[in-house]
Structure 1
Amino acid sequence: MNTSNRIWLITGVSGGLGRALAKEAAMQGETVYGTLRKPEQISAFNELVPGKTFGLQLDVNHHNEIKTVIEQIVSKSGRLDVLVNNAGYGLLGAIEELNMDEARMQMETNFFAVLAMTQAVLPIMRKQRSGHILQISSMSGLRANSGTGLYNASKFALEGMSEALALELQPLHIHLTLVEPGPFRTDWAGASSVTARNKIDDYEISSGARLRQLQSISGKQPGDPAKAAKAILLAVNSEHPPLRLILGKVALDAVREKFRTVEEEFSKWEAVSLNTSFED
């Protein structure tokens, strides 16, 4: 991909990884459009890197507004090279504690909004025969844990959809990368999260304990969003970008451990798995 002044669209740039990535890309000479839900946030984003960062109001759950935002970008800049689906949040609570409205909203924001944004951008990238889609997933898209089951579900869904999409886009010279951070120093487990309204005492020793641990390190996570942004830019600038980019030692260790235990279980039950065919 031509790396001279690409046009980026990053959703959810009010803080955290989205804002760090917007700043890093702009500092490297890219033009970055960022979406924000509140109009009063736009001017500050415009001044992040003056002349390079441009804020646009959008709630990604309002799918009918997505096309208008993309048309604004293409009308002004003529193209769209990099889409970063970053907007999202964490829903905290044991599976039984969650009501259907809470669960559906998690899937709406973390999966269906990403799907809608991706579908809206693809016609432009197909016409260009170039582009790069970055799906901000999570280590939680590869390894589940108690207390974040619906968040896991939303990211597992994103991973499955994106794996298939990457295969569909290969002949069109459009790249896709799933970015899978571990714990980074953002508000993900704090102000940006939503906690189930219902509480069940029996889950205090499992999901309850894990959520207390997550919230206790909020603001003290080991991951540096600025360094994560630099890592993502390295992937985007690569001649052969990865399908998956895991960020942080915690994430890398956890995912490797998951795959190790999965392989152990496959091996243990291999004979049973294979003994399921017709005896032709």
Structure 2
Amino acid sequence: MTGTGKVWFITGASSGFGRAIAEAAVAAGDTVVGTARRTEALADLVAAYPDRVDAVALDVTDGERVDAVAADVLARYGRVDVVVNNAGRTQVGAFEETTDAELRALFDLHVFGPARLTRALLPHMRERKSGAVVNISSFGGQLSFAGFSAYSATKAALEQLSEALADEVAPFGIKVLIVEPGAFRTNLFAKGAAYFSAELPAYAETSGATRRLVENAGGTQPGDPAKAAAAIRTALDADDTPLRLALGGDAVDAITGHLDAVRAELAAWDKVSRGTDFDEE
């Protein structure tokens, strides 16, 4: 069934980046195991490629189900060449507006789910000494602003897990790619798709502005998901695959500005920072 192509395991494959990556994979002759909470959204892709697209129902926050699906896929296909941890959602709310339950639920979706799936597949990648882990983050994994404290916290956690993972699995020939998109025309900002914490009037001018942006930005984002999928494939096929791949001019500009600000602050406080070491005897 898989022929000579790669086997992709893509979460959140029904729309957005997941769907675009799945379409690019089958167009290249690869096989896709695409998961979604509602697999009917993948019916047309399955119909078009019945021998190379497998739609599987999966909520990545259900750890036991993650283990079962991973085991089943490995049993049926023999391997997974590329796992793409893409399932996610937008959450908007000031730090004080965000409840413990909301924060934990988002970490389950963006951190613990991908971690569990990746752990389930890594032993087989290590044995074969090949494979790739693609974790869909955001430029918000490198910086944050009012209204995105919870979202950025989960993406930052995913990025740091990924950075250490890359160092750990490099000797086994496994690549790790962190993808940091800016604003792309996916369903994340679609009507009813984003989750909003209960609003406090005190934050109307800060996180409130972010709420309005998310509420009105759907369908106007500059990024093209199909071009993002092509860029991801280019990075994975490169001899020197980057650890981080920013996507979109807005992401590049935001991250560059953030890094410049961090460097400037380090330089401004260099003497104070270095002055905390023990004096040499």
Q: Which of the five TM-score ranges fits, normalised by the shorter chain?
A: over 0.9
Q: Residue type of the partner of 1:192? A: A
CA distance in 2, matches of 1:161, 1:210: 27
Partner of 2:266: 266
CA distance in 1, matches of 2:226, 2:266: 39
Once the two structures are TM-superposed, the CA of residue 235 in structure 1 deviates from its matched residue by 1.1
TM-score by length of 1: 0.95
Once the two structures are TM-superposed, the CA of residue 217 in structure 1 deviates from its matched residue by 1.7
Cα contact 2:13–2:36 (8 A) shared by 1: yes
Equivalent residues in 2 for 1:1-280 (5 A)?
A: 4-190=4-190, 191-196=192-197, 198-279=198-279, 280=281
Once the two structures are TM-superposed, the CA of residue 42 in structure 1 deviates from its matched residue by 4.8
Once the two structures are TM-superposed, the CA of residue 238 in structure 1 deviates from its matched residue by 1.3
CA distance in 1, matches of 2:126, 2:216: 45
| SS of the residue 1:87 aligns to | coil
What is the percentage of aligned positions where both structures have the same residue? 39
CA distance in 1, matches of 2:71, 2:107: 26
CA distance in 1, matches of 2:220, 2:70: 36
CA distance in 1, matches of 2:5, 2:208: 47
Q: Residue type of the partner of 2:79? A: R
RMSD of the alignment, in Å? 1.4
TM-score by length of 2: 0.95
CA distance in 1, matches of 2:66, 2:87: 13
CA distance in 2, matches of 1:254, 1:108: 27
Structure 2 unaligned spans of 5+: none
CA distance in 2, matches of 1:232, 1:200: 39
Cα contact 2:146–2:206 (8 A) shared by 1: yes
Residues 10-29 of structure 1: CA distance to partner in whole angstroms, max 9, x if unpaired?
A: 00111111001100111011
CA distance in 2, matches of 1:48, 1:263: 50
Cα contact 1:180–1:247 (8 A) shared by 2: yes
Cα contact 2:8–2:82 (8 A) shared by 1: yes
Once the two structures are TM-superposed, the CA of residue 75 in structure 1 deviates from its matched residue by 2.1
CA distance in 2, matches of 1:273, 1:36: 47
Q: Which stretch of the first structure deviates more once superposed, 225-234 or 236-245?
A: 236-245
CA distance in 1, matches of 2:224, 2:202: 35
CA distance in 2, matches of 1:48, 1:195: 36
Structure 1 unaligned spans of 5+: none
Cα contact 2:92–2:210 (8 A) shared by 1: no
